[in-house]
């Protein structure tokens, strides 16, 4: 499970450049320590206390 997953503002790059489709969130400066950002609705998992990749693979294969 996620051990560090703050709520942050996330933007999706919708330009025609090479970053198209990337998700972007700013965790620098005022956000040191990764507190929840006021009004944010998206959680970004920065650390997990279990092997998330193995768990996700298992869940997808079970579908």
pTM: 0.65
pLDDT per residue as tens digits for the range 5-60: 899 999 999 999 999 999 999 887 565 678 888 999 999 888 888 888 888 899 99
Sign of the Cα torsion 20, 25, 2, 41 reads negative
Is 4:49 a contact under the CB 8 Å cutoff?
no
Determine the straight-line distance between the first and last CA of the chain, rounded to whole angstroms.
20
- Residue 31 structural domain: 2-61
Helix H or strand E segment including 55: helix 52-61
Number of separate domains in the chain:
1
Question: For position 4, what pLDDT does the model report?
Answer: 86
């Amino acid at each position: 499970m996620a051990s560090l997953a703050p709520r942050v503002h996330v933007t999706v790059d919708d330009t025609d450049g090479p970053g198209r489709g990337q998700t972007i969130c700013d965790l620098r400066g005022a956000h040191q320590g990764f507190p929840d950002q006021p009004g944010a609705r998206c959680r970004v998992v920065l650390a997990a206390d279990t092997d998330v990749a193995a768990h996700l693979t298992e869940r997808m294969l079970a579908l």
